[in-house]
Structure 1
């Protein structure tokens, strides 16, 4: 049984974070209580804290650990006590986040973590791969590794070295697509090792023209894992003269005639309404997509066909979270990881 209290990293009114004692929650309908082993940091963690400063919120979205308790209305056999799992929650905004000894999670959009994956690697199987799945299979209904394309066609992935980009490249390649990506030159080898057929320097002022030439002017599908700081203009310009469709991680500016941009948000799959970063009313359809994507991701992992992001493990568990949040905007191509057991005096 879980204890009544736990240590967690909590947001203060000024946007700083502290480790403090908070109650261990009880799982409600459709939920599981997970004993957290490791946490992965995402850009959304430090962005949400900076934008909102939600006092009392527990930091963190991504987690890996073991099922401690199963709530009511979880379908029989879906989850088992002691099962190794990974997933994500809406952290840094509610009093439930992954930077804690225990986290409440939805039982359905959760990945089964095989023994071949460490908790450190598994902790990143949350926002990154689920967002990549949305970009590819919800926004555009592109082929999946379960049902790959019979005839390859080009796909551009902007931000190939980001966590979302790394998973999107792998999913797209496993789905039989011809993958083009943008990245900083220092990450070219990494992006190519994940399956990108060609990689382009997003700093190059001619990058859109070069992508258009490399794709023979036939590019009609793109994923923008960055969706800001100039990427919308590059991606739109790289598409065919007739235009195309862009899946985006943020609301997209108007681009040009013939181009349709479809923004997505991973939080939609958690089955709950929310009012930040925009208004969303929960739907059964979105929750069902989360369950289906979790099954796809679990299947790909079970076949040893997915590589985790390169990682850097911070040394002091929860006590390192504040430093990780400060370092996050400066780190690219890697995931910052915290092991709960490394926390001093835990």
Structure 2
């Protein structure tokens, strides 16, 4: 059922977690800021939960060219609409989920605004915290698989299969009829098998490529979801068939000309934040459609969600959580509770 909150109940100020400047320690500050006001087709949302992602931690350390400081962190949010202009859908009381603009202020605040066309309405079958696990990882996985144009019977390698993107990609690749190979630390192999992976390999193994070829055969992969980048991208192209397809989530390395001629890979770059940076209304609306698909699959129990690790809404707790994101070896989804369901 929709939640309700009258306009006159809205406070004048709100708590937010902000980065005063990029720093290696990801030191954050707790600020008291004015509650934003809606413009045109925007929604004012009382934020309930925020999902943390590796990209949040990376940019907190390095900064981002479009940011102004202090900068509120966070991109994945779920909350209840508390204010909207007349005729705007979703209306007041609806619970919504979205992935926020990478170029604007983030969502680690008690209230925030978002264009109405970029959100998805959360079904009653899912809790707000469950929905907060979906946007960045789930949408990135869907975009990557769309670029790979998977057909039934294709073979795909999914790197970093235990990460958020990897877990969703394994499940959606199986829905599309692919044979899924994945890499992960050995202690995560059982999880990836449960998600549907047909074969899982330890990415620490010095004989990784040899073992993959022994299992796969001489033909090479039809498709690769390259979640790590750099030298791993070169290795993955070597494992592909001639004219195979690869979706890359990170910057490309410098390729040797001989490798490009020998493999002739079809390289796709995945940029979820590009929908906002390119100011593409069509791409932003597609994020809403992808959100609907993720929520529908989750509500019907057709995809398994990552395990949730709760994080307090405090500068110290979120800083610790973001540092954990980039330290490696973390499985599951860290979710910051801003307000109760």
| TM-score tier after normalising by the smaller chain length | 0.7 to 0.9
Residue equivalent to 1:239: 240
Asked if residue 165 in structure 1 is aligned to residue 166 in structure 2, the reply is yes
**Unaligned 5+ residue runs, structure 1?**
143-148, 274-280
Asked if residue 50 in structure 1 is aligned to residue 52 in structure 2, the reply is no
Residue equivalent to 1:145: none
Q: Answer yes or no: is the 8 Å Cα contact 1:252–1:261 preserved in 2.
A: no
Q: Answer yes or no: is the 8 Å Cα contact 2:76–2:98 preserved in 1.
A: yes
Residue equivalent to 1:120: 129
**Unaligned 5+ residue runs, structure 2?**
1-6
The alpha-carbon deviation at position 17 of structure 1 amounts to: 1.1
The alpha-carbon deviation at position 268 of structure 1 amounts to: 2.4
Residues 318, 304 of structure 1: CA spacing in aligned structure 2 closer, same or farther, 3 A cutoff? farther
Secondary structure at 1:188's aligned position in 2?
helix
Q: Answer yes or no: is the 8 Å Cα contact 2:58–2:326 preserved in 1.
A: no
Secondary structure at 1:220's aligned position in 2?
strand
Aligned pair partner of 1:282 in 279, 293, 304: 279
Mapped to 1, the partners of 2:281 and 2:79 lie a distance apart of: 26
Query: Alpha carbon RMSD of aligned pairs, Å?
Result: 2.3
Pairs within 5 Å for 1:133-152: 133-137=142-146, 139-142=147-150, 149=151, 151-152=152-153
Mapped to 1, the partners of 2:41 and 2:177 lie a distance apart of: 35
Aligned pair partner of 2:319 in 322, 332, 335: 322
Q: Please, what TM-score do these two structures have when normalized by structure 2?
A: 0.85
Secondary structure at 2:81's aligned position in 1?
strand
Asked if residue 38 in structure 1 is aligned to residue 49 in structure 2, the reply is yes
The alpha-carbon deviation at position 226 of structure 1 amounts to: 2.3
Q: Please, what TM-score do these two structures have when normalized by structure 1?
A: 0.84
Secondary structure at 1:10's aligned position in 2?
strand
The ranges of structure 1 where at least 4 consecutive aligned residues each deviate by more than 3 angstroms after the TM superposition are 71-74, 315-319
Secondary structure at 2:98's aligned position in 1?
strand
Residues 6, 311 of structure 1: CA spacing in aligned structure 2 closer, same or farther, 3 A cutoff? same
> How many positions carry a matched residue from both structures?
318
Residue equivalent to 2:252: 252
Q: Answer yes or no: is the 8 Å Cα contact 2:17–2:314 preserved in 1.
A: no
Residues 291, 63 of structure 1: CA spacing in aligned structure 2 closer, same or farther, 3 A cutoff? closer
Q: Answer yes or no: is the 8 Å Cα contact 2:98–2:119 preserved in 1.
A: yes
Residues 71, 56 of structure 1: CA spacing in aligned structure 2 closer, same or farther, 3 A cutoff? farther
Residue equivalent to 1:22: 33
